[in-house]
């Protein structure tokens, strides 16, 4: 039986680093508050002339090198993002052209916020198994600094920019690669985390700009509570569905939103914090980029070995969520 494996990974973060001390000059906050409430110490911020596709391309180039695959071999390109270069067309088309992915490739974006990378992986997995696609490039990329209200201390301290990419392909070896995936959404909570302006409900206008409709808004506590509950449930179900115990999971790569969410997940699942990969202290919440960015770092740091089980767990606006189990 065929499997779909992650053949290579890559990531990129913009050069500029914004520390908590820098933020204290912009809004009424403290390093102590940010670190104790979120675990974040610094985040990367893209340059004015750097768009989401620019970050995506750099991460993709490194994933292609890692997989020893040429851009010309990619026939499926998916970009998961909440901050596309343009409302129309997709960022995937921008990436395709600049990266040299051939015109016959299928290219589109996925909008699933912080769960976007896992959604992209699930779609690519299914399409590769149809045998109509051979090689997928999936990217999670965000320039969240472009939709953050830099006057709102309750959100601006949390987010950062970055990108991560993975090359997926089919191999004729059973029991490795993407073993399972469980995605979901709770649309009843759309209002908990959204950017109200710029879509068909509230198109861009002088009024929409003046009233701050084009910024991210979050009901932090509500999102927090749901994140802890839902991430635990999908992670536990993924392990049980595959007749594993939590001890058999070598590494958990959770969405990097808040260290307190990750610690609660660790306690509730009975998986020690040492088995969680955490880099949010250096990147903040990079939404769809957070899991592939952490995956790339974890792999390069030697945290993943052949035969290991790795569990991805995500949660984000929508509210979307998901878990994916990988065997290397
Ligand atoms: O990626 C998608 C998923 N997103 C998440 O998972 C985020 C989930 N939510 C969270 O991570 C947390 O709810 C936050 C980090 C956003 C907030 O933490 P909290 O413990 O829920 O704090 P809070 O919102 O209840 O605010 C506590 C206090 C408030 O003051 P009062 O009303 O108690 O006087 C805030 O005004 O902290 C104040 N506050 C701040 N103080 C200093 C809020 N932001 C700041 C700040 N600096 N940056």
DSSP 248-316: GEEEEEE--S-HHHHHHHHHHHT--GGGB---HHHH-B-GGGHHHHHHHHHHHTT---TT-EEEEEEEE
37 pocket-lining for ligand 1 (C-beta < 6 Å): yes
Q: What is the pLDDT of residue 77?
A: 98
pTM here is: 0.97
Distance (angstroms) between ligand 1 centre and the Cα of 149 equals 15
Closest by alpha carbon to 152, among 288, 23, 14? 23
- Beta strands (DSSP E) in the chain are 3-12, 16-19, 42-45, 76-80, 106-110, 135-143, 161-171, 177-185, 193-194, 217-218, 249-254, 309-316, 320-327
pLDDT score at 281: 98
Q: Which residues are catalytic?
A: 114, 255, 285
Task: Give, in order, the Cα–Cα distances in Å from 290 to each of 14, 86, 255.
Answer: 14, 21, 6
Nearest CA to ligand 1 atom 29: 154
pLDDT band for position 201 (50/70/90)? very high
Alpha-carbon distance 58 to 54, whole Å? 6
Say yes or no: do domains 3-174 and 178-327 share a fold.
yes
Q: Is the CB of 81 under 6 A from ligand 1?
A: no
What is the DSSP secondary structure assignment for residue 155, as one 8-state letter? H
With 90 as the cut, is the pLDDT of residue 82 above it?
yes
- In this prediction, residues 225-242 reach a mean pLDDT of 97
Domain ranges of the chain: 3-174, 178-327
CA distance to 28, 147, 182, 215, 278, per residue, from 151 (Å): 9, 12, 37, 10, 28
Identify which of 22, 37, 223, 255 to mutate to test ligand 1's pocket (most ligand atoms within 8 A of the CB).
Answer: 37
In the predicted model, what is the mean pLDDT of residues 66-83? 98
Handedness of CA 261, 216, 253, 184 (dihedral sign): positive
pLDDT of residue 1: 78
Structural domain 178-327, CATH architecture: 3-Layer(aba) Sandwich (3.40)
- Evaluate whether the domain defined by 3-174 bears CATH number 3.40.47.10: yes
Q: Is the CB of 223 under 6 A from ligand 1?
A: yes
Compute, in angstroms, the gap from residue 257 CA to the centroid of ligand 1. 12
Q: Length of the chain in residues, anyone?
A: 328
User: Which residue among 220, 257, 288 is best mutated to probe the pocket of ligand 1, counting the most ligand atoms within 8 A of its Cβ?
Assistant: 220
pLDDT average, residue stretch 202-226: 97
- C-alpha dist (Å) from residue 253 to 7, 102, 140, 186, 324: 18, 32, 15, 22, 10
Average pLDDT over residues 295-307: 97
pLDDT of 287 strictly over 90: yes
Residues 35 and 19: beta-carbon distance below 8 Å: no
Both tokens assigned to 265: 């997940």
CA 278 vs CA 184, 232, 233, 248, 283: distances in Å: 24, 17, 20, 19, 10
Q: Which atom of ligand 1 is nearest to the CA of 221?
A: 13
State the average pLDDT for the chain: 97
Question: Taking residues 57-86, what's their average pLDDT?
Answer: 98
Render pLDDT for 128-138 as a digit per residue (tens, 0 to 9): 999 999 999 99
* Chain segment 244-261, per-residue pLDDT in tens: 999 999 999 999 999 999
- From 154, 217, 259, 315, mutation site for ligand 1 pocket: most ligand atoms within 8 A of C-beta: 154
Residue 157 beta carbon below 6 angstroms from any ligand 1 atom: yes
What mean pLDDT comes out for the span 195-202?
96
d(C-alpha 324, C-alpha 161), whole Å: 23
């Amino acid at each position: 039986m065929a499997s779909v494996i992650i053949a290579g990974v890559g990531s990129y973060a913009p050069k500029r680093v914004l520390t908590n001390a820098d933020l204290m000059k912009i809004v009424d906050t403290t390093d102590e508050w940010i670190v104790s409430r979120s675990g974040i110490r610094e985040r990367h911020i893209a340059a004015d002339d750097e768009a989401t596709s620019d970050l995506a391309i750099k991460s993709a180039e490194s994933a292609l090198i890692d997989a020893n695959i040429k851009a010309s071999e990619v026939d499926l390109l998916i970009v998961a993002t909440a901050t596309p270069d343009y409302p129309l067309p997709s960022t995937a088309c921008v990436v395709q052209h600049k990266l040299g992915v051939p015109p016959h490739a299928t290219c589109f974006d996925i909008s699933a916020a912080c769960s976007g990378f896992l959604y992209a992986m699930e779609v690519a997995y299914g399409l590769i198994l149809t045998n109509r696609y051979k090689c997928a490039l999936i990217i999670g990329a965000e320039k969240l600094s472009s939709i953050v209200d830099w006057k709102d201390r309750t959100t601006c301290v949390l987010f950062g920019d970055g990108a991560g990419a993975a090359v997926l392909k089919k191999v004729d070896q059973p029991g490795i690669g993407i073993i399972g995936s469980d995605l979901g959404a709770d649309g009843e909570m759309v209002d908990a985390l959204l950017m109200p302006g710029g879509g068909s409900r509230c198109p861009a206008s002088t009024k929409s700009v003046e009233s701050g409709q084009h910024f991210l808004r979050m009901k932090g506590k509500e999102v927090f509570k749901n994140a802890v509950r839902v991430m635990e449930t999908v992670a536990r179900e993924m392990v049980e569905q595959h007749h594993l115990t939590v001890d058999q999971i070598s590494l958990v790569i959770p969405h990097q939103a808040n260290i307190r969410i990750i610690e609660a997940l660790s306690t509730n699942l009975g998986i020690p914090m040492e088995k969680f990969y955490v880099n949010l202290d250096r990147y903040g919440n990079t939404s769809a980029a957070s899991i592939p960015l952490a995956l790339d770092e974890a792999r390069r740091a030697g945290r993943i070995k052949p035969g290991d089980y790795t569990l991805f767990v995500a949660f984000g606006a929508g509210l979307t969520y998901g878990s994916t189990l990988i065997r290397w």
